[in-house]
């Protein structure tokens, strides 16, 4: 078995902003420490939820570096370094490694929409040129291309390609990936509404948006599944269903940042082209936060 990055819940952390849309690095460090104190198992920095797409290169690296410093080795820091430009992604990985990232989360190339053979070539090229472990990220609703189980099988032969964040919404595909790859590729849920279904098929945790708001609870949900208590885990999955739906009622990370601000966590606005959610959606979000006792 390959070296495992984490089991349980990793937060796909938001990037806090000041009101002028500059990155609030002081608050970022605070969030990292608060997440760790709440028992989170790992942190993903500069993913989709971290507004990677609108961070400049220097900001991207500084957000990773400040997160590494704040975490102080207590949990793995997984840096979002995927791109639709293969060579650019290698450069970003190498720079992120120099400042202390423990692993890389690498989204499938978006917009270019390469073939399955192209995906193998893309990830293989990167794998040959980086030293830290790689988590593949399959989110076809955003990228326009899906990584197929057979492609996972080919990529899982590489020692430093160790896991996948699966957000394709297709449980049959997850089952086939587990069947083909076995212990050569760890599977994390990339959808908060499918944490327990995916873990019941052999997944070992989640890379979560929900845990920005409920880190302790998301950790406990995953722990119940890892302990084999699927009755408890399933009940918790159902309990948070309404809140999860509200957190995805607008484009991520618009609702989760709104929720965190409602809870007094001070993460500021989203950057354009993202735009604040409508009042009706915000009211529903507040109701669902109250429903689970978040405040």
CA distance 270 to 276: 7
Summarize pLDDT for 133-167 with one digit per residue, the tens.
Answer: 999 999 999 999 999 999 999 999 999 999 999 99
Structure tokens at 226: 């890892």
pLDDT value, residue 121: 98
Burial of 271 (0-12, 13-18, 19+ CB in 10 A): middle
Q: Which residue's entry shows tokens 């990677």?
A: 52
CA distance 104 to 126: 11
Catalytic: 137?
yes
pLDDT value, residue 295: 87
Q: Which of 52, 132, 165, 288 is catalytic?
A: 165
The whole-number average pLDDT for the span 15-25 is: 98
Average pLDDT, the chain: 97
Residue 278: φ, ψ to 5°? -70, 155
Q: What is the pTM of this model?
A: 0.96
pLDDT value, residue 106: 98
Selection from 23, 20, 54, 50 nearest residue 35 by Cα: 50
Domains and CATH numbers, the chain: 8-228 (3.20.20.70)
Q: Give the three-class secondary structure for 189.
A: strand
Q: Which of 137, 152, 188, 240 is catalytic?
A: 137
Residue 2 has pLDDT above 90, yes or no: no
Lowest mean pLDDT among 171-175, 183-187, 266-270, 291-295: 291-295
Catalytic: 240?
no
CA distance 81 to 50: 12
């Amino acid at each position: 078995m390959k070296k495992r990055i984490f089991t349980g819940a990793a937060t796909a952390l938001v990037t806090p902003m000041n009101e002028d849309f500059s990155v609030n690095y002081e608050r970022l460090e605070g969030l990292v420490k608060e997440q760790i104190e709440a028992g989170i198992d790992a942190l993903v920095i500069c993913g989709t939820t971290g507004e990677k797409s609108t961070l400049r290169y220097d900001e991207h690296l500084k957000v990773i570096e400040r997160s590494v410093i704040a975490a102080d080795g207590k949990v793995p820091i997984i840096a979002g370094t995927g791109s639709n430009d293969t060579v650019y992604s290698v450069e970003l990985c190498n720079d992120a490694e120099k400042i202390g990232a423990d692993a890389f989360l690498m989204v499938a190339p978006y917009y270019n929409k390469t073939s399955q053979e192209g995906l193998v070539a893309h990830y293989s090229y990167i794998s040959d040129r980086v030293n830290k472990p790689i988590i593949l990220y399959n989110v076809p609703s955003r990228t326009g291309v899906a990584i197929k189980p057979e492609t996972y099988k080919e990529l899982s032969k590489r020692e430093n390609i160790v896991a996948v964040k699966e957000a394709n919404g297709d449980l049959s595909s997850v089952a086939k990936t587990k069947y083909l790859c076995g212990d050569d590729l760890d599977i994390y849920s990339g959808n908060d509404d499918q944490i327990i279904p995916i873990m019941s098929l052999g997944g070992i945790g989640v890379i979560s948006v929900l845990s920005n708001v409920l880190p302790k609870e998301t950790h406990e949900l995953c722990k119940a599944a890892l302990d084999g208590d699927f009755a408890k885990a399933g009940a918790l999955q159902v309990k948070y269903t309404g809140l999860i739906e509200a957190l995805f009622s607008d484009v991520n990370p618009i609702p989760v940042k709104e929720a965190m601000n409602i809870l007094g966590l001070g993460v500021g606005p989203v950057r354009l082209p993202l735009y604040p959610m409508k009042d009706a959606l915000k009211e529903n979000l507040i109701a669902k936060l109250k429903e689970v006792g978040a405040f």
